[in-house]
Amino acid sequence: MINILVTGSNGQLGSELKEISSKYSYKFFFTNRDYLDITNKQKILNFIKINKIFVIINCAAYTEVDKAQSQKELANNINNEAVKNLATISKEQNIKLIHISSDYVFDGKNYKPYIETDNRDPSNVYGSTKLAGELAMQKTNPSNSIIIRTSWVYSSFGSNFVKTMLRLGNERDELGVIFDQIGTPTYARDLAKTILEIIPQINNLNAEIYHYSNEGVLSWYDFAKEIMKMAKKGCSINPIMIKDYPTPASRPHYSFLNKTKIKQKFNIEIPFWKDSLDECLKVLGERK
C-alpha cells in the first residue's frame, strides 16, 4: 500500500482528490492548515516519518490573487517557503512530490500556447510567489518530483467562476464578463484523476514541469455564455474588457497552456472543456 499525503485538502483540487480516492488502491492522508502546518518543516518531517509517506501531492496554496497584493508575506510563506520545505524533505526522504502551480507565472503577452520552457514573468504578487515556489523546488531538485501548472480551476467544491456564474444567473437579468482574457478552464476532478493515474509513471532525476488544463481555448465571456446555456439561466452575458473591470492585481491577457508534454509523457487524454463543464454541472445538479 502506497501512503499519500495530500496537503490543502479543503481546496478544490484536494476536495476532488478526496472525492475519488476510494477508487484507487492508495492510503490517503488528507490534511489542511489546521491539521498540518506545511510552513513548519519539523512538523512535516515528523508527520511523514510517522505515517510512512511515499508521495506528497501539494494542493495547498494562497490563491486569493487580489488579496495577495497586500498580503505578500502570507502568500510567500504558503506558495514559496512551504514548497521549499516539502522539496527539501522529499529529497532527504526520497519521496515523490507533485506540486501544483499556475499559469500566472506568465505575463500573458504570448501569441501562441505557452510551453513549459517559455519565459516566466508574472504580473502580480500571486504569480510571483508561485514562481518563487517553482524555483525553490527546482533548486532543491528532489528526484521523482513534478510541477503541474494549471489554469482557471473550477469544481463542484469551494468558490469558483462556475458557481459564481450560476448564482448570479439566478439573481440578475444581465451580466458583464471579460472577453479579452484568453485561456482554458480546468475541471479539478479531471486534474485529480490525472495525478492519481500518473503516480506510478513518475520516474525522473530532475524536477520536471508539465502543463495541464482542459482542451480548447476560450475567453471568460465564452465560458460564462456556455454555463448559462447549459444551465438554462435567463441571464444575458455582455462582453466587457479587462480595462473596464479594474482589480488590485493585473491578470494575464493570454494564458493558454500547451499540454503536449504531459500527454505524450504519460500517454493520457484530456477532456474538452465543454464536456468537463457538462460533467461538473451534472454533479451540481445544474445541467438542464
Catalytic positions, written as ranges: 126
**Separation between Cα atoms, residue 135 and residue 60, nearest integer Å:** 17
CA atoms 80, 83, 88, 91: torsion sign: negative
Q: How many residues does the chain have?
A: 288
Which single residue is written with the C-alpha cell 447549459?
Answer: 230
**Separation between Cα atoms, residue 183 and residue 176, nearest integer Å:** 18
**Separation between Cα atoms, residue 3 and residue 57, nearest integer Å:** 11
Count the neighbouring beta carbons within 10 Å of the beta carbon of residue 13.
28
**Separation between Cα atoms, residue 283 and residue 149, nearest integer Å:** 25
Which single residue is written with the C-alpha cell 510552513?
Answer: 39
